[in-house]
Structure 1
């Protein structure tokens, strides 16, 4: 299961689907408020992880195969919550660029969401954001369409939930093998979050990627492929 970040949608995993579809059954949901799910407003990380846990539980009943969850940014926070509150459900997790240290200014950022919406929907501003996420030209129209379909309520909830997220207590004793991935060029709080997640998980490894910023799956899909291959290999 591949979980995208806030403000994008399942299309961000297009390269990974191409790379791994021959050997894996891949599930790529559009999170609430994003892409094909834009009419369903995003509310909380916990509610979203509960919905995804229900999907995974049904799949485990249907076929007895190892389950791997890969999450990026907001999707990584959801993956951490899912793993921490559902012991035994996920065999392997790849947590990419998850903020895990609550930010004091998060509430203010969420309140400003209404002012940000017209700006976020402008093509020129979307170009700047797409460049920051390392989105190539082939994905820009997908990004612009996703951004313009997102409601102010979803944006506000995403900003609020992202800024106040902390790992659930169950993360400390989850029966899941985890790879915690962060770019060396990411903000200090992101690197600190990665270390916290790795240090507090009983079976986690920390992967600090040289030269990478916040957007590794899109910035360097071949290097990210190698990370996924190591993470999904048999223990």
Structure 2
């Protein structure tokens, strides 16, 4: 898995986990804003961006691999924070829940946590639509739905072009079938759980489920925001991230 390290190398660690169908480039505004304070650790998740040759398998496998990276940094004495969006938020929940004591604070943005009954079938069907997703016109429509500005479109289009059908189906299946691990509520990690007011009702319900299951979690329902807060409103997201990591 490709992982980019930047910012203050002797500072506390902030790992940023992107959503499905994009890559580490989605975090450029946050990398610029937080690089003076944090060591930024930004992976391209398997099957995405510069990790496109490595097919995505499961949320659990990916979380375990990322936990190994964080454990090595933690051993150097650095505090650790993780922020994830959508698929990356689900991976962050899995990572935190399976590794008590590893992460000091987590920001979970738009994580689906209520398994969808037809998720596996929908993922298989979506795989047949991959050629459509590789058309520039269709990609522009998808980019707008994700609140990607023109400056990020070519990055998005390259990421889409490089994604395999196997990865797309695995991402959609894992996303739709995800449920938080048993350890999520007993990790000792401070958590900010975030959803947009304009997201689907199941996303807001998922945020409340995650917050209610965690004894040290704050729930943030962001007015006017849809699915894509870090891209749609980087300033409001940065304020949440700043508060959540203030003790780092």
TM range (shorter): over 0.9
How far is 1:116 from its partner? 1.1
How far is 1:113 from its partner? 3.0
Structure-2 residue corresponding to 1:20: 34
How far is 1:221 from its partner? 0.5
How far is 1:132 from its partner? 0.4
Structure-1 residue corresponding to 2:232: 219
Quick check: 1:123–1:144 contact (8 Å CA) kept in 2? yes
User: Deviation digits for residues 23-44 of structure 1, max 9, x if unmatched?
Assistant: 1000000000000000000000
How many angstroms apart in 2 are the aligned matches of 1:15 and 1:178?
22
- Unaligned runs of 5+ residues in structure 2 are 1-14
Quick check: 1:174–1:202 contact (8 Å CA) kept in 2? no
Structure-2 residue corresponding to 1:200: 213
Structure-2 residue corresponding to 1:2: 16
How many angstroms apart in 2 are the aligned matches of 1:2 and 1:151?
23
How many angstroms apart in 1 are the aligned matches of 2:207 and 2:24?
23
Query: Following superposition of structure 1 onto structure 2, how do residues 9-48 of structure 1 map, counting pairs within 5 Å?
Result: 9-48=23-62
Is 1:56 aligned with 2:73?
no
How many angstroms apart in 2 are the aligned matches of 1:119 and 1:224?
32
Structure-2 residue corresponding to 1:138: 151
How far is 1:109 from its partner? 1.2
Structure-1 residue corresponding to 2:164: 151
Q: CA RMSD in A?
A: 0.8
Secondary structure in 2 aligned to 1:124?
A: helix
How far is 1:114 from its partner? 2.8
User: Deviation digits for residues 92-148 of structure 1, max 9, x if unmatched?
Assistant: 000000000000110111111331110110111101110000000000000000001
Secondary structure in 2 aligned to 1:142?
A: helix
- Unaligned runs of 5+ residues in structure 1 are none
More helix by share: 1
Q: In the alignment, which of 188, 206, 209 is matched to residue 175 of structure 1?
A: 188
Query: Following superposition of structure 1 onto structure 2, how do residues 65-144 of structure 1 map, counting pairs within 5 Å?
Result: 65-144=78-157
Structure-1 residue corresponding to 2:244: 231
Runs of 4+ residues over 4 Å off in structure 1: none
Greater mean deviation of Cα atoms: 111-120 or 90-99:
111-120
How far is 1:161 from its partner? 0.2
How many angstroms apart in 2 are the aligned matches of 1:114 and 1:90?
34
TM-score under structure 1 length normalisation: 0.98
How many angstroms apart in 2 are the aligned matches of 1:18 and 1:79?
22
Quick check: 1:87–1:174 contact (8 Å CA) kept in 2? yes
How many angstroms apart in 2 are the aligned matches of 1:115 and 1:234?
46
